[in-house]
């Protein structure tokens, strides 16, 4: 079911299957919202309590005061959501791309909430100067145009594997979700990501089981980034999904869910 909670006077929206099962927290990527997890909600909802928020500023959630939507704020919101739901047991944290960046912050700030982690199509390294500059360019364009169109132009064509036609179901669904994001989410979301910390030194401290998943054709956070994470994480399993790009969970849901299910079964 969809529900809302209020934090600091803001309304944050989330999906909660509200079952008496172990908890899986699904955290979406940039310019998207919890709807990107539809294939995982459908697959895991009967065995897991699946909680999938719209991060502050994205989807149906309010953005709060102007300024960068930082990953530390997202992490604190997630902890507040778990508290609100009365979930004190550690959860399986699943984050894709920006959801992975948020996962590193969640580990820094709230590691007692984490029993295992899935880092999908993400990276621990910092942006180079060119990437940081590009984030500010997109932020200003979004503000000038008052929409998410700059994110669509720059990112949408490369979100999925180039082998997937852009008029097929997954890219079309992604376009729909991205079009629904506000200019604020794009501008201050990019500024928040530009401020993130280097998480490479954090990797050896993540002493819970981790599943690192990446689409072999991911051009936004390429497989080399996942290999680097898997090398430095103490308890990592690395899965590379053939034929999938950055949105591996949507593009190859059977392979993604199968890898997740198999790994969960070993925890």
Residue numbers at the binding site for ligand MLT (CB under 6 A): 29-30, 97-98, 193, 220
Which residue, 35 or 49, is less far from ligand MLT as judged by CB?
35
The DSSP-derived string for 40-67 is HHHHHTTTSEEEEE--TTSTTS---SSS
CB of 266 to ligand MLT, least distance (A): 28
CB of 247 to ligand MLT, least distance (A): 8
**d(Cα 48, Cα 46) in Å, to the nearest integer?**
6
Which residue, 32 or 259, is less far from ligand MLT as judged by CB?
32
CB of 216 to ligand MLT, least distance (A): 17
CB of 262 to ligand MLT, least distance (A): 25
Please give the torsion angle defined by the CA atoms of residues 148, 193, 77 and 156, in that order, rounded to the nearest 10 degrees.
Answer: 30
Cβ-Cβ contacts under 8 Å for 54 (sequence gap 6 or more): 12, 13, 14, 28, 33, 34, 60, 61
**d(Cα 227, Cα 237) in Å, to the nearest integer?**
10
CB of 20 to ligand MLT, least distance (A): 32
Q: Are 53 and 61 in contact (CB under 8 A)?
A: yes
Which residue, 192 or 209, is less far from ligand MLT as judged by CB?
192
Which residue, 220 or 241, is less far from ligand MLT as judged by CB?
220
β-partners of residue 152 are none
Which residue, 109 or 132, is less far from ligand MLT as judged by CB?
132
Q: Are 103 and 124 in contact (CB under 8 A)?
A: no
**d(Cα 180, Cα 33) in Å, to the nearest integer?**
9
Which residue, 90 or 147, is less far from ligand MLT as judged by CB?
147
CB of 22 to ligand MLT, least distance (A): 26
């Amino acid at each position: 079911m969809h529900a809302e909670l209020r934090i600091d006077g803001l309304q944050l929206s989330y999906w909660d299957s509200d079952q008496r099962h172990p908890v899986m927290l699904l955290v979406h990527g940039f310019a998207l919202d919890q709807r990107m997890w539809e294939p995982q909600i459908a697959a895991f909802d009967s065995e897991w309590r699946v909680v999938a928020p719209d991060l502050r500023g994205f989807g149906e959630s309010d953005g709060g005061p102007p300024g960068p939507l930082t990953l530390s704020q997202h992490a604190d919101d997630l902890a507040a959501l778990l508290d609100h739901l009365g979930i004190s047991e550690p959860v399986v944290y699943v984050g894709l791309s920006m959801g992975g960046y948020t996962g590193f912050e969640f580990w820094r700030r709230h590691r007692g909430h984490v029993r295992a982690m899935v880092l999908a199509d993400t990276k621990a390294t910092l942006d180079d100067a060119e990437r940081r500059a590009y984030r500010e360019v997109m932020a200003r364009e979004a503000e000038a145009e008052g929409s998410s169109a700059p994110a669509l132009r720059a990112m949408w064509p490369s979100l999925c594997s180039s082998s997937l036609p852009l008029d097929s179901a997954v890219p079309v669904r992604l376009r729909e979700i991205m079009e629904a994001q506000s200019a604020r989410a794009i501008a201050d979301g990019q500024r928040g990501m530009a401020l993130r910390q280097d998480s490479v030194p954090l990797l050896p401290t993540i002493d819970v089981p981790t599943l690192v998943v990446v689409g072999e054709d991911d051009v936004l956070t390429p497989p080399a980034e996942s290999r680097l994470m898997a090398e430095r994480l103490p308890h990592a399993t690395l899965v590379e999904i053939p034929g999938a790009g950055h949105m591996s969970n949507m593009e190859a849901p059977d392979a993604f869910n199968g890898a997740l299910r198999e790994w969960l079964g070993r925890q």
